[in-house]
Amino acid sequence: MNRTTLEQWRMLQAVVEHGGFAQAAAAIHKSQSTINHAVHKLQGQLGLPLLEVVGRKAQLTEAGALMLRRAQQLLDQAGQLEELADSLAVGTEAEIRIAVDEIFPYEQLACALHELSREFPNTRVQLFETVLSGGPEMLVGGRVDLLIAGSVPQGFLGEPLMRAAFVAVTHPGHPLLQLQRALSLQDLATHRQIVVRDSALARNVDSGWLGAEQRWTVTHIATSVDMIRRGMGFAWLPRSRVDSLLAEGALAALPLRQGAERYAELYLTHADPEKAGPAGTRLAALLREAVADTGGN
């Protein structure tokens, strides 16, 4: 039979985090005597001194630090269990947070979200449109429940969703096209390239930069498309964003000797598949269906 309780460990954690019994009492809305009794009883049950007073602040002993680290895992698991119970009790999530890399086809995303709104009208959606490692950073930070991105963060299990194609494009009147021959990377290096910056806060990586001195960096793919349409440079842009513009002649593909098209794999990753509610599970299925209808490209 267990000698200690999670509540005792929570109170010990509060004392350590807030620097004393009085501070912990104010923070977690318990009486100081209740916290004092729980922590002293915990130490007595374990037969170990967990706290020591240094100056006017309560600090963990070496044994206490080790024990609380182990207890923290139990507290986290208990919190997750309670969250799961809340989700099951309600039946449907109140909100879904999803990060989607901007290279994911907008039409497929819009269709999936539209159907979700029809099936789950009371579930709110927070959509974060990200670039490169911005989405994975949000997933690792616990800020989203679902992720579509070009990589799966360490410690998570993602599934391949689709392969996104990029094509090198420019304005039909761009000087590169006036050369009227197959182009090399050296030809491109003397002209302005429009690149999209990484939306992650902890990184600074630009998408597809060739090293051109006249690089311009923007935040969104839509901005890049607009600049290219105005004849301000060239870029590799998702086919899903430019195919119609190429067809109508607003943009032109660059006749590169090699590398005219590039590809990026996109993955679908849950923050925690076991905690995903019916709306989150359905949204993932709708995204798969939307991509499957287009052949996965």
pTM above 0.75, yes or no: no
Q: What is the 3-state secondary structure (H, E, C) of the chain?
A: CCCCCHHHHHHHHHHHHHCCHHHHHHHHCCCHHHHHHHHHHHHHHHCCCCEEEECCEEEECHHHHHHHHHHHHHHHHHHHHHHHHHHHHHCCCCEEEEEEECCCCHHHHHHHHHHHHHHCCCCEEEEEEECCCHHHHHHHCCCCCEEEECCCCCCCCEEEEEEEEEEEEECCCCHHHHCCCCECHHHHHCCCEEEEECCCCCCCCEECCCCCCCCEEECCHHHHHHHHHCCCCEEEEEHHHHHHHHHHCCCEECCECCCCEEEEEEEEEECCHHHCCHHHHHHHHHHHHHHHCCCCC
- The residue out of 55, 90, 125 marking a domain boundary is 90
How much of the chain, in percent, has pLDDT values that exceed 70?
A: 91
Tell me if 111 is assigned to some domain: yes
pLDDT of 180: 92
In this structure, the answer to whether residues 12 and 45 fall within a common structural domain is yes
Task: Report whether pLDDT(297) > 70.
Answer: no
Question: How confident is the model at residue 59, as a pLDDT?
Answer: 85
| Residues of the domain holding 101 | 95-162+265-292
Among the ranges given (27-41, 80-94, 197-211, 247-261), the one the predictor scored with the smallest mean pLDDT: 197-211
Pair (25, 68) in one structural domain: yes
**One domain for residues 196 and 121:** no
Q: Residue 10 is which amino acid?
A: R
Assess whether 198 and 55 both reside in one domain.
no
pLDDT band at 171 (very low <50, low <70, confident <90, very high): very high
Q: Is residue 72 in some structural domain?
A: yes
Same domain, 174 and 239: yes
Q: How many CB atoms neighbour CB 77 within 10 A?
A: 11
Sign of CA dihedral 12, 17, 21, 27: negative
Residue type, 233: G
In a domain, 67, yes or no: yes
Both 259 and 277 in one domain: the answer is: no
Q: Based on the domain organization, do 24 and 48 belong to the same domain?
A: yes
Whether residue 129 is found in the same domain as residue 260 = no
Whole-angstrom distance, CA of residue 187 vs CA of residue 177: 11
Predicted pLDDT at 87: 58
Q: If you average pLDDT over every residue of the chain, what do you get? A: 89
Cβ–Cβ under 8 Å, residues 46 and 9:
no
Asked, for residue 1, whether it belongs to a domain, the answer is no
**116 and 101 in one domain?**
yes
Tell me the CATH number at 54: 1.10.10.10
The Cα–Cα gap between 119 and 232 comes to 44
DSSP β-bridge partners for residue 193: 234
Residues 255, 201, single domain; the answer is yes
Rounded-to-integer distance, Cα 267 and Cα 127, Å: 17
What six digits make up the tokens of 4? 């200690």
Mean pLDDT, residues 190-216 taken together: 73
pLDDT of residue 194: 94
Structural domain count of the chain: 3
Asked whether residue 249 falls in the same domain as residue 174, the answer is yes
- Give the CATH number for residue 144: 3.40.190.10
CATH of the domain at 173: 3.40.190.290
Rounded CA-CA distance 47/116 in Å is 55
33 located within any domain: yes
Kindly state whether residue 273 falls inside one of the protein's structural domains: yes
First vs last C-alpha separation in the chain: 57
Q: Is residue 251 part of a domain?
A: yes
Residues 143 and 234 in one domain: no
Highest mean pLDDT of the ranges 49-58, 196-205, 209-218:
49-58
Q: At what angle do helices 21-28 and 6-18 cross, to 10 degrees?
A: 110
From the number of C-beta atoms within 10 Å of its C-beta (0-12, 13-18, 19+), residue 13 rates as middle
Q: What pLDDT, on the 0 to 100 scale, is given for residue 58? A: 78
